[in-house]
Structure 1
Amino acid sequence: MRILLGVSGSISAYKSLDIARGLVKKGHEVKVILTEGALKFVVPEVFTYLGVSDVYKAQDDFVHKNVLHIDLARWCDVFAIAPVSANTLSRLAQGQASDLLSSVFLALEPHKNTLIFPAMNTNMLHHPFTEKNIEDIKKLKTLNNLFVSPTDAGILACEEVGLGKLPNVDEIIEIIPTMIKPIQSADQKTILVTTGATIVPLDPVRYLTNSSSGITGYYLAEAALSMGHKVVMIAGAHSTAKLNLYSKHPNFKLLRAKTVEEMKDAVHSHLNDADLYISSAAISDIEFDVSDSKIKKDSMGDSLKIKPATDVLKTVLEKKSAKLKVVGFAAETDPSDSVLNKKMQSKPVDLLVGTKVNNGLTKNQEVTGFNADFAEYRLLSPKGFTYEGILTKKELAHKIILQFFPPN
């Protein structure tokens, strides 16, 4: 992807070096525009050392043989400005073309997104002029191509505490590549995903869970967002923190659920709006009669009473609308034909993803499927098996989304 990164004169400008480096490491081609203010905080040559293709200064439009702001607007797939100072925000909101950065902003083609990441003192952020500028620039959302990120709260460079911090660098690095498609479009779908492990309480001290990390959900979100879709992610309480990196994405919603019932309630509260439901979570199939106090050893005996837990996927299929497509996951130590066909017959989904797993805790067996970026999969549709083999979880995520929503 070709990413144009604008940097303005905020104290957070030094973080743009890490943003540029992170994007380059992910394989993207990056060019940088520095405002006059940015040059007070960062040196152009450092960006070049970090792998950036080209670095431009505020008035380079006048020393370039072509019309540089037009060339750059045509070249990029997405235009991200991080950080955006109060001064640069004001110029953008007023439609000024007083330097290279603001000229590119005006010259950008309507289908390309501009991503704005403000960073400034709390009082400056809340000043009526700044709030008005943010309000004015957000009106451009009618073009479906502008995103203004919320700021973070914390201790600022001026030692005041409050909103105004640039979002976490890792968040910005994750969000930018997933926003090449229009923020809103007629082709946009809503994808509801469960991921990670549920928790089954035994008493106030003990509980049962499993080794699912939720990393499959992270890659499903990355794939779906990159294709321009909306994602509602319902994750187990202990699922990977990488899901939080998309928390500011305009098309991403994250909810955490501890128990099976919490996950079921969250799923059904979002089911009516979904076009695709992907049940990738490792949801427990058993529950205990929960004790209100810690069960003492001498009263445990040699067994614990269990009962079947609610089958969340089954409840979804019972209420499935005509438009909803459903993907089920089956984590098995032996995802054989008979095992997967039996599951497909009992819960007829549009796609069943059989995953070979082992937590490695029995008989010194190798860990497979869990806490890894790849696994052995068998994909079963109502017409038969469509794929068998090893895939990275990133590859699996793209394969699933594209099967239901191929590009036009």
Structure 2
Amino acid sequence: MQTYPTTEEMIPSPLPAQSFVASSSRRPNHLHILLITTGSVASVKAPLIVAELLRYKDVHVQVAATKASLVFYNKSSLEFTHAADNDGQGVKVWTDEDEWGSWKRIGDPILHIELRRWADVVLIAPCSANTLGKIANGLCDNVVTSLLRALAPSTPTYVFPAMNTMMYEHPLTAVHLRTIKEVIGYTVVGPIGKGLACGDVGEPSQPYRGYQQVHIAESIASSGIGAMVEWRDIVNVVVQRWDLDLRA
């Protein structure tokens, strides 16, 4: 019986495991955006976010992904599509496997440190309940949580929660959101009310006014929300903050 190659076999990654060094990867007068994807179905929007960000002048994008988030989009396909972007460096989806894959001895680059040095702005989109809890409690058990723990407090970091409505309304979510906003200093954007992949449908208890509407769970009891904000609104956070212009 004839067999056919899988999608992963048909679209090999153009960027094999390699060392990443911030000093040689950064470009003067460019905005370096690190997109972090975590284990929510909203990670399916990652390719759209990356593609839209790269439409703007002097923007470079890299992605750091938890293992769970890669259930929802094709890592190799995203890298293949953007192999010529970032001034020919390509867009790489960095994972736990890359963290120590090229590390041989003390003094070699460490991925989560290099990524935090590279990033001018960090977008955690989506931020699952699991990763939210880890960040709030200071865990460093993967490349994503390690780089966030090592991130300079001055680096603008935006968190876009995405989870089931009941997870969002759990009392611990309010505590975690308060911690990352008031203690760590991240900006929390969303979530919104819409039909969720699990079948739940929620409506916000307050009108949603684009990305400027920042919600914290304790302030909107019984909100019935949890979905990540629209992917274009995520891009607009960056576009408006840094006054970006489209490429010619």
Query: Normalising to structure 1: TM-score of the pair?
Result: 0.42
1:31 aligned counterpart, secondary structure? strand
1:115 aligned counterpart, secondary structure? strand
State which of 194, 211, 236 in structure 2 corresponds to 1:174.
236
Residues 1:12 and 2:74 aligned together: no
Question: Given the superposition, is the C-alpha separation of residues 5 and 98 from structure 1 closer, same or farther in structure 2, using an over 3 Å criterion?
Answer: same
The separation in 2 between residues aligned to 1:179 and 1:101, in whole angstroms, is 24
Task: Tell me which residue corresponds to 2:78.
Answer: 47
1:5 aligned counterpart, secondary structure? strand
Counterparts of residues 65-80 of structure 1 (less than 5 Å): 65=103, 66-80=109-123
1:109 aligned counterpart, secondary structure? coil
Measured against aligned partners, the alpha-carbon deviations of 1:28-51 in whole angstroms (never above 9, x if no partner) come to 211111101112222211221332
Residues 1:160 and 2:222 aligned together: no
Deviation at 1:98, TM superposition (A): 0.6
Question: Given the superposition, is the C-alpha separation of residues 99 and 179 from structure 1 closer, same or farther in structure 2, using an over 3 Å criterion?
Answer: farther
Task: Tell me which residue corresponds to 2:151.
Answer: 108
State which of 22, 33, 51 in structure 1 corresponds to 2:64.
33
Task: Tell me which residue corresponds to 2:218.
Answer: none
Residues 1:62 and 2:92 aligned together: no
CA contact (8 A) 1:115 1:147 kept: yes
Provide runs of 4+ in structure 1 moved above 3 Å: 177-180
Please state which structure has a larger fraction of its residues in strand: 1
Deviation at 1:116, TM superposition (A): 0.6
Q: Please say which structure displays the higher CA radius of gyration.
A: 1
CA contact (8 A) 1:84 1:117 kept: yes
The separation in 1 between residues aligned to 2:70 and 2:42, in whole angstroms, is 12
Question: Given the superposition, is the C-alpha separation of residues 127 and 42 from structure 1 closer, same or farther in structure 2, using an over 3 Å criterion?
Answer: same
Residues 1:21 and 2:42 aligned together: no
Deviation at 1:176, TM superposition (A): 2.4
CA contact (8 A) 1:4 1:80 kept: yes
Q: 1:167 is aligned with what amino acid?
A: V
Task: Tell me which residue corresponds to 1:151.
Answer: 191
The separation in 2 between residues aligned to 1:129 and 1:60, in whole angstroms, is 32
The separation in 2 between residues aligned to 1:78 and 1:177, in whole angstroms, is 12
Measured against aligned partners, the alpha-carbon deviations of 1:303-345 in whole angstroms (never above 9, x if no partner) come to xxxxxxxxxxxxxxxxxxxxxxxxxxxxxxxxxxxxxxxxxxx
Task: Tell me which residue corresponds to 1:344.
Answer: none
Counterparts of residues 2-401 of structure 1 (less than 5 Å): 2-27=32-57, 28-51=59-82, 53-65=91-103, 66-140=109-183, 143=185, 146-162=186-202, 163-179=225-241, 223=243
Matched residue count: 181
The separation in 2 between residues aligned to 1:47 and 1:178, in whole angstroms, is 25
The separation in 2 between residues aligned to 1:98 and 1:129, in whole angstroms, is 20
RMSD: 1.9
1:105 aligned counterpart, secondary structure? helix
Q: 1:117 is aligned with what amino acid?
A: F
CA contact (8 A) 1:7 1:34 kept: yes
2:96 aligned counterpart, secondary structure? coil
1:153 aligned counterpart, secondary structure? coil
Deviation at 1:81, TM superposition (A): 0.9
The separation in 1 between residues aligned to 2:174 and 2:61, in whole angstroms, is 30
The separation in 2 between residues aligned to 1:171 and 1:147, in whole angstroms, is 14
The separation in 2 between residues aligned to 1:8 and 1:17, in whole angstroms, is 14
Deviation at 1:58, TM superposition (A): 2.6
The separation in 2 between residues aligned to 1:84 and 1:113, in whole angstroms, is 16
Deviation at 1:179, TM superposition (A): 4.1
Q: 1:135 is aligned with what amino acid?
A: R
CA contact (8 A) 1:80 1:176 kept: no
Identity of aligned residues (%): 32
Q: 2:122 is aligned with what amino acid?
A: F
1:166 aligned counterpart, secondary structure? coil
Query: Normalising to structure 2: TM-score of the pair?
Result: 0.68
Q: Name the structure, 1 or 2, with higher relative contact order (CA <8 Å, separation 6+).
A: 2
The gaps in structure 2 that reach 5 residues or longer are: 1-30, 83-89, 104-108, 203-224
